[in-house]
Structure 1
Amino acid sequence: MKIVITGANGFVGAALCRYFYQQGHSILAVGRQAKSHPNLAAIAEYLSADITQSLPPFRADVCIHAAALASDTATYQDLHENNVTGTRQVLAAARFCEYFVQISSSSVYQFKNIPAKESSATLAANRSPYGKTKLLADNLVGEDIPAGQKRIILRPRAIYGIGDRVLLPRLLELIKRNIVFCPVSAQISTSLTHVDNIAYAINLFLRQASQPALQIYNVADAPVYNLRQCVLQLLSAVYQQELKVCSIPVSLLKLLTDLNKIVPFSAKLNPLVLNTLTQSAVLDISAIRENLGYQPRYYFENRYPQIAAWLHGVGGLNYYLNNLAQMPWELDEKFAVRTT
C-alpha cells in the first residue's frame, strides 16, 4: 500500500515512516521543513507542506495524521491553528484514501481515580488548551466521513522510544550534578505508550476484517507503571550509573506553581506539568484489546535500555540536547533502517 504520514520530521511520524517502510509499504512523508533528513529521503518520497494551508489531494491508500503542535506554553490560537485547522486540511487532502488514522492524545481526558475510557472525553471537562484542541480535532475526524473510508482515532499516553525529543529532554532537566530532583511521588501510576505499539495498533486496524466507519481507542503498553520508578530507571541508564535522588514535596511544587501564576519565572512550571507529575493517569485499553485483538509487544522494562543505547550511539547527551530538531531521524548503525 501507499501510506501518507504527516509530521514525518517529528518523533512519532518518523517512527511510523520507518515501521511501515520496513513492512514493505511505499511512504509519502509530509513535513513542514523545506528538505527532508537524508535518512528520511532514503526511504520515502517527501512533500514539504504547511498543513494549516490547503493541500493537494493525497493519492494513497492510507493517511496517518501524526502532525500536531504539542506544547504547554503555546498560545491557544497557535494550538488551534495547528491541531484543528491542520486536521481539517489533512482530512480534505485524504478524502480519496481508503483509511484515515488520527494520532490523538490522552490529554483529551481529565484523569480521575479510575482508568480513562474513550467515552469520558468531553469538551465540558476542564482540560489544557492542547487537550481541548486535540479533542476538537478528534471531533472533526468523526464528521462527514466519505463513503467507503474507514477512520480510527488512537489516543496514546506519554509516548516514548528512540527518536524522542519531547519527554526525554524534560526528564534530563531534573538532573543537577548527578542528583535527580524528583517531583514525582511514589504513589503515581501511569500508562505509557511505546511508539512501536502505536504502529502495531495501526497495522491491526489496516488488517481488520470488518470495520465500522469510525473507531476510537486508547493505546498503551499493557502494564500500568509506577511513574517515579520509570523516571529513575531511564535516567540511571542514560547516565550509566545509579543516581542520587532528592524528592521534591508535592506541596512545594504546588506552591511554586501558584507563585508562577502571579509572578511568572518559569514557562515550564504550569498546571499541566503539575498535573502530569502529581496525578495518576491510566488508560483503559480494554476496547482496543477486544475489537482489534491488540496485544502490545513492547514494554518499558525492555525498551528503556534501548533508548539509552541510542542516545549514546548518536553522540551522547550534549549532542542530543544541542540537536533536538533532527533527533527523530538521527540513527546510529545499530538502529538504522536497512534500504537494500
Structure 2
Amino acid sequence: MKIVITGANGFVGAALCRYFYEQGHTILAVGRQAKSHPNLAAVAEYLPADITQSLPPFRADVCIHAAALASDTATYQDLHQHNVIGTRQVLAAARHCEYFVQISSSSVYQFGQVPAKETSATLAANLSPYGKTKLLADNLVAENIRAGQKRIVLRPRAIYGIGDRVLLPRLLGMVKRNIVVHPVPAQISTSLTHVDNIAYAINLFLRQTSQPALQIYNVADAPVYNLRQSILQLLAAVYQQELKVCSIPVSLLKLLADLNKIVPFSAKLNPLVLNTLTQNAVLDISAIRENLGYQPQNDFKSVYPQIAAWLRGVGGLNYYLNNLAQMPWEIGEKFAVKAS
C-alpha cells in the first residue's frame, strides 16, 4: 500500500513512518519543515506542506493523520487552526484514499473514577482547549464519509517510546539536583500508550475483512499503571541511580494554580498539567479488543529501560533537551531503520 502520514517530523508521525516502512509499504511523509531529516528521507518521500492551508489530493491507499498542535500554552485560536481546520484540510486531500486514520487524544474525556469509554466524549464536559479542538476534529472525521471509504479514530493516552519529545521533557523537568519534585499522589492510576501499540492498532484496522464506515476506539497498553511509580522507575533508569523524592501536596499545587490564573508566573502551572498529574486517567480498551482483536505486546515495564538507553545513545540529557525538534528522527544507530 501507499500510505500518507501527516506530522512526519513529530514523535508519533516519525514512529509510524518507520513502522509501516518496515512492513513493506510505500510512505509519503507530510511535514511543515522545508526539508526532511536524513533519516526520514531514507524511508519516505517527503512533502513539505502546511496542513492548515489547501493541500493537493493525496494519491494513496491510506491517510494517517498524526499532525496536531498539542500545547499547554497555545491560544484556543491556534489550537483550532491546527487541530480542526488542519483536519478538515487533510480530510479533503484524502478524499481518494480508501482508509483514513485519525490520531486523536484521551484529552477528549473528562476522567473520573471509572475508565473512560469512547461514548463518554462530549463537548459539554469541562475539557481543556486542546481536548475540545481534538474532539471537534473527531466530529469532522465522523461526517461526510464518501462511499467506500473507511475511517477510524484512535484515542491514546500519554504516548511514550523512543523518539518522544513531549512527555519525556516534562518528566525530566521534575528532577532538580537528583531530587524528584512532583505532586503525584501515590494512588493515581493511569493508562499509557506505547507508540508502537498505535501502529499495531492501525495495522489491525487495515487488515479487517469487514468494516463499518466509522470506528472510534481508545488505544492503550494492556496494563493500568501507577503513575507515580512509573515516573520514578523511568527517571531512576535515566539518571542511573535512585532519586530522592520531594512530594508537593496537591492542595498547595491547586492554590498555586489558582494564583497563577490571577497573576501569571508560570506557563507550566495550568489546569491541564494539574489534572494530568493528580487525577486517575484510565481508558476502557474493551471495544478495540473485541472488534479489532487488539492484544498489545509493548508495555512500560519492558520499554522504559530502552528509553533510558536511547537517551544515553543520542548524546545524553543536555543534547536531548537542546535538540528536541529533531529527536523523533535522532533515534540512534541501535534503534534506526535500515533503508533498503
Matched, 1:229 2:229: yes
Matched, 1:49 2:49: yes
CA drift of 1:182 comes to 1.8
Give the distance between the partners of 2:299 and 2:12, measured in 1 at CA.
Answer: 17
Give the distance between the partners of 1:269 and 1:115, measured in 2 at CA.
Answer: 26
Give the distance between the partners of 2:265 and 2:182, measured in 1 at CA.
Answer: 20
Give the distance between the partners of 1:319 and 1:3, measured in 2 at CA.
Answer: 32
- Amino acid of the residue matched to residue 12 of structure 1? V
Runs of 4+ in 1 over 4 A off after TM superposition: none
Residue number in structure 1 paired with 2:184: 184
SS state at 2:333 partner? coil
Unaligned runs of at least 5 residues, structure 1: none
CA drift of 1:126 comes to 1.1
Residue number in structure 2 paired with 1:75: 75
Give the distance between the partners of 2:254 and 2:100, measured in 1 at CA.
Answer: 41
Give the distance between the partners of 2:189 and 2:224, measured in 1 at CA.
Answer: 7
Residue number in structure 2 paired with 1:220: 220
- Amino acid of the residue matched to residue 79 of structure 2? L
Give the distance between the partners of 2:306 and 2:199, measured in 1 at CA.
Answer: 18
Give the distance between the partners of 2:204 and 2:29, measured in 1 at CA.
Answer: 21
Cα distance per residue 1:199-230 (max 9 Å; x no partner)? 00000000011100000000000011000000
Residue number in structure 1 paired with 2:314: 314
Give the distance between the partners of 1:320 and 1:183, measured in 2 at CA.
Answer: 25
- Amino acid of the residue matched to residue 234 of structure 1? L
Residue number in structure 2 paired with 1:5: 5
Residue number in structure 1 paired with 2:210: 210
Give the distance between the partners of 2:200 and 2:54, measured in 1 at CA.
Answer: 30
Give the distance between the partners of 1:76 and 1:93, measured in 2 at CA.
Answer: 24
Superposition TM-score, scaled by structure 1 size: 1.00
CA drift of 1:57 comes to 0.3
CA drift of 1:333 comes to 1.1
CA drift of 1:331 comes to 1.8
Give the distance between the partners of 2:325 and 2:333, measured in 1 at CA.
Answer: 20
- Amino acid of the residue matched to residue 285 of structure 2? I
Give the distance between the partners of 1:262 and 1:105, measured in 2 at CA.
Answer: 29
Residue number in structure 1 paired with 2:142: 142
Q: Identical aligned pairs, as a percentage?
A: 88
Q: How does 1:116-195 map to 2 (within 5 A)?
A: 116-195=116-195
Cα distance per residue 1:280-317 (max 9 Å; x no partner)? 00000000000000001100000000111111100000
Cα distance per residue 1:17-49 (max 9 Å; x no partner)? 000000000000000000000000000000000
- Amino acid of the residue matched to residue 8 of structure 2? A
Give the distance between the partners of 1:331 and 1:203, measured in 2 at CA.
Answer: 23
Give the distance between the partners of 2:49 and 2:95, measured in 1 at CA.
Answer: 17
Unaligned runs of at least 5 residues, structure 2: none
- Amino acid of the residue matched to residue 263 of structure 1? V
Give the distance between the partners of 1:146 and 1:275, measured in 2 at CA.
Answer: 38
CA drift of 1:124 comes to 0.9
Residue number in structure 2 paired with 1:339: 339
Give the distance between the partners of 1:70 and 1:333, measured in 2 at CA.
Answer: 28
Give the distance between the partners of 2:51 and 2:258, measured in 1 at CA.
Answer: 36
CA drift of 1:95 comes to 0.2
Give the distance between the partners of 1:122 and 1:257, measured in 2 at CA.
Answer: 25
Superposition TM-score, scaled by structure 2 size: 1.00
CA drift of 1:7 comes to 0.1
The count of corresponding residues between Structure 1 and Structure 2 is 340
SS state at 2:92 partner? helix
SS state at 1:46 partner? strand
SS state at 1:303 partner? helix
Residue number in structure 1 paired with 2:249: 249
Cα distance per residue 1:259-294 (max 9 Å; x no partner)? 111111000001111111110000000000000000
- Amino acid of the residue matched to residue 225 of structure 2? Y
CA drift of 1:140 comes to 0.2
Give the distance between the partners of 2:91 and 2:262, measured in 1 at CA.
Answer: 41
